[in-house]
Amino acid sequence: MTVHVPRLPISLDPLIAEAKRRMRRRRLLIAVAAVAIAAGSAFAMGAPGRPGSNGGGGALSGPGRVGSVRIDGGGRVGPLHMNRSTLAQVVAFAGKPDLDQSYLDKYRVLGYGCAAGAGTVTNWNVDPVACRTSFYLVGGRLSLFITQDRRFAEVAGVRIGTSTGRAERLLHRKAFSGCNDAIGLHSKQARLSLPLTGGRPHIVGTKLYVVGGRVEAFYLHGRRDPGVTDCK
């Protein structure tokens, strides 16, 4: 005996329609996510940096390695050259400054790692600005560089914090005491001064030397030095 089971009219149209709806929903979610990621990236790129962060992404935008940027008495600061490098080249190297000020038509200073109110101190135009690192431009060219940042080092190996005795041995120069205590290097293009702190004067004949202490900063002077580090 043969039993006939009646066929039920089954349509695949609802299943196909549901699959299409799910696919459209998935595509929409992917598109929304992509837009959100793009918007977030654009915001991150365009958002100004926090104070002291140097959002421009240059060499001074992060902590950096100790002694990773070289200075020499011939006038070089990393890729920059004293008397030659322009404002654009300084910013390309160092990043967006925390302080950017001009003093009349004498010079322009870019400061990094600046103390609060560094640009409003009344005597900032005759003394170095209160910044960890500063670049002074005269006539649009780099003319003075000052730093207490440990990522900078003299090519012979002297760093911020190096003892006076070791710095003398590395540089083959003596530390002298005068209007300030320092070790100096000279060339036709520039003059590098390494101010010292914590030392004591020591007289030998007519010479006044420095004994003890350590390197406190680097001052690299160009031919058109603005004079803010001159003895007062």
Q: Is residue 162 part of a domain?
A: yes
Give the list of residues 6+ apart from residue 186 with CB closer than 8 angstroms, or none.
73, 192
pLDDT value at residue 8: 46
Q: Is residue 199 part of a domain?
A: yes
pLDDT value at residue 22: 55
How many separate domains does the chain show? Answer: 1
pLDDT value at residue 215: 98
119-178: pLDDT as tens digits: 776 666 678 999 999 999 999 999 999 999 999 999 999 999 999 999 999 999 999 998
pLDDT value at residue 213: 97
Q: Is residue 42 part of a domain?
A: no
Q: Is residue 135 part of a domain?
A: yes
State which residues form the domain around 197.
Answer: 69-221
Q: Is residue 112 part of a domain?
A: yes
pLDDT value at residue 179: 85
DSSP structural state of residue 12: S
pLDDT value at residue 195: 96
Q: Is residue 59 part of a domain?
A: no
- Name residues of the chain where pLDDT drops below 50: 3, 5, 8, 10, 12, 15-16, 19, 26, 28-53, 55
The backbone torsions φ and ψ at residue 70, rounded to the nearest 5 degrees and listed phi first, read -95, 145
Q: How far apart are CA 140 and CA 3, in angstroms?
A: 102
pLDDT value at residue 39: 34
pLDDT value at residue 63: 79
DSSP string, 53-64: S-TT-STTSS--
- What's 152's domain CATH number? 2.60.460.10
Give the list of residues 6+ apart from residue 131 with CB closer than 8 angstroms, or none.
98, 99, 111, 112, 113, 114, 115, 118
Token pair 């004293």: residue? 82
Question: What separation in angstroms does the CA of 47 have from each of 32, 38, 40, 42, 157?
Answer: 22, 14, 10, 8, 38
Q: Is residue 144 part of a domain?
A: yes
Q: Is 64 exposed, middle or buried (0-12, 13-18, 19+ CB in 10 A)?
A: middle
pLDDT value at residue 193: 97
Beta-bridge partner residues of 180: none
Give the pTM. 0.74
Beta-bridge partner residues of 191: 186, 221
Q: Is residue 120 part of a domain?
A: yes
